[in-house]
Structure formats: structure tokens, C-alpha cells
Amino acid sequence: MKRHIASLVVFLAAAPLWAASGETVLQERCAQCHDLTGPAPSTLEELWTRKGPDLFYAGVKYKPEWMERWLQNPSRIRPAGMFYGKHVRTGPDGQDVIDVASLVEHPRLSPGEAEAVTRVLMAKKATPAPVQEGAYQPGRISLRMGELMFDKFKGCLACHQIEPDYGGLSGPEVYTVTERLREDFLVAYLRDPQAFDPKIFMPNKKLKERDIQKFIHYFRALAQEVKP
């Protein structure tokens, strides 16, 4: 019994140290590129110079298991970077292309750092707009119907990839979005992107609530389909 109590005391004493180390890593390795306090960019200049996603509401946006995994093995989610305008040039034929050399790789964290940083980020919940717990009601849609909605009916494919190397390049890929982001957050964001990010170059298509749900069903189906 004494041994258990001693372990508990050691655990409770060490817990703030772990949290502190996550906070330290966050400040030393993340804060140069990510906004940890908000608010989101309110001018075009702020939008253009943002280097990484805002993290001051990471706890309502991201799935912790994905974040911890991704931080150890980061891959590009936005083919043209955070703001495409910084990473595009016009080729000799007049066609714009991504200037790949201008894109910056995300640092790779050790398993311990990733775990500590994720824990600290999950406590950041200063969301600019309400995210309702349980807003997403799981359901199903066929990939064919989902793609029809995403491409032909709503035109979202213009800016987003639905599989590697297919779709638009200025927005984040959607075939991994439900791996990365909490579905309840997606409901709120798709309803009004500017409520979270006032100057973001994603339009508000005034989606009906049932279409928002269907889109997320589609993203979940895509994630299953594309999984290796």
C-alpha cells in the first residue's frame, strides 16, 4: 500500500513537469510559426504571413492521436503551403505552378516531445466560435454520391484534393481530414469558415445542415478508401 502511495506522490509531483516540458517545446519550437494565443488574422497581411495553422483552439479542432503521430512523422497537408500566394509562380506558358523550393518542411518531434506537445495543445480551447459536442451524427454516404456533391454540386474540388494528386491545390487535402480534425469542429467550420478565420480564402457556401453532415460522412468514407 505504501509503495502505491509513494508512486502516486511521484506521479503527481512529476505531472506538472511533463506539462511544463510540453509548454517549453511549444514555445521553443512551435511558436515562431503558429499562433498560440489568437486572434486569427484580421488583415490580408496577417493572412499572407501566417506560416502554420492557428493553434490557440487546437483542443477543439484536432484529434490528439493523429496529432501525436503526425508530429513525429509530418507530411504536407496543403500542397501549396499555408498561403498559396507565397508559394506560386507563373511559368513561361502563363500557367501558375507551385514553387516547391519555397515550401518549408515541418520539424519532426521525438515521441516524447510529440506526446508532451499534444497534451498541452489539447488544453487550448479558446475557440473563436462555438463548437457543439455531438454536432456530428455519424452516418453513411456512397463515395459516388459524396463526390458528386463535393465536385459537381458544390464545386469544392476546385481547391481541395480528394485523393493524392487529384483535385485543387490551394486548400488542405480532404481525404485525410477526418483523421486529423474532430468531426464536431468540422460541422462548425463548414457552416461558417470566417467565424474561425475571418480572412480565410475559403468561401462560405451557405451549406444546409444536412449537407454538412453528408460532407463529413463523405470525408470519413474517403479516409477509409485512401488508407494504405
Partner 1 sequence: MNAAQRLLAAATLAWLAAPAPAQPSGEDLYRTYCAQCHGLQGNGKGINVRDMSVQPRDHTDSKYMAGRTDDELRTAVVEGGQALSKSVLMPPWGSVLEPQEVDALVAYMRELCDCQHGRP
Q: What is the CA radius of gyration of the chain?
A: 19
Grid look-up 509531483 returns: 13
Q: Percent helix, strand, coil in the chain (nearest 5)?
A: 50, 5, 45
Residue of the chain from 51, 153, 164, 225 that contacts partner 1 (CB under 8 A): 153
Q: Which of 65-73, 84-92, 114-122, 128-136 is the region at the interface with partner 1 (rule: CB under 8 A)?
A: 84-92
26-65 footprint of partner 1 as x/- string (CB under 8 A): -----------------xx--xx-----------------
Q: Is 11 in the site for partner 1 (CB under 8 A)?
A: no
Phi-psi region of 182 (alpha: psi -120 to 50; beta: other; left: phi over 0): beta
Q: Are 96 and 160 in contact (CB under 8 A)?
A: no
C-alpha cell at 125: 480551447
Judged by CB under 8 A, the chain residues 91 through 110 that form the site for partner 1 are 94-98
The phi and psi torsions of 98 (rounded to 5 degrees) equal -75, 130
Looking at beta carbons only, is 43 or 142 nearer to partner 1? Answer: 43
Whether omega before 198 lies within 30 degrees of 0, making that bond cis, reads no
Residue of the chain from 36, 103, 148, 157 that contacts partner 1 (CB under 8 A): 157
Tell me the helices (H) and strands (E) count for the chain, helix number first: 10, 4
Q: Is 223 in the site for partner 1 (CB under 8 A)?
A: no
Looking at beta carbons only, is 160 or 217 nearer to partner 1? Answer: 160
Nearest to 190 by CA among 167, 162, 217, 168: 217
* Site size toward partner 1, by CB under 8 A: 37
104 sits in which H/E element: none
Looking at beta carbons only, is 35 or 151 nearer to partner 1? Answer: 151
Q: Is 169 in the site for partner 1 (CB under 8 A)?
A: yes
Residue of the chain from 80, 117, 131, 221 that contacts partner 1 (CB under 8 A): 80
Closest contact distance (angstroms) between CB of 100 and partner 1 is: 12
Judged by CB under 8 A, the chain residues 193 through 212 that form the site for partner 1 are 194, 199-201, 203-206
Using CA atoms of 178, 182, 186, 192 in order, give the dihedral in degrees to the nearest 10.
Answer: -150
Q: Which residues contribute to the site for partner 1 (CB under 8 A)?
A: 43-44, 47-48, 80, 84-85, 88-90, 94-98, 151-155, 157-159, 166-170, 192, 194, 199-201, 203-206
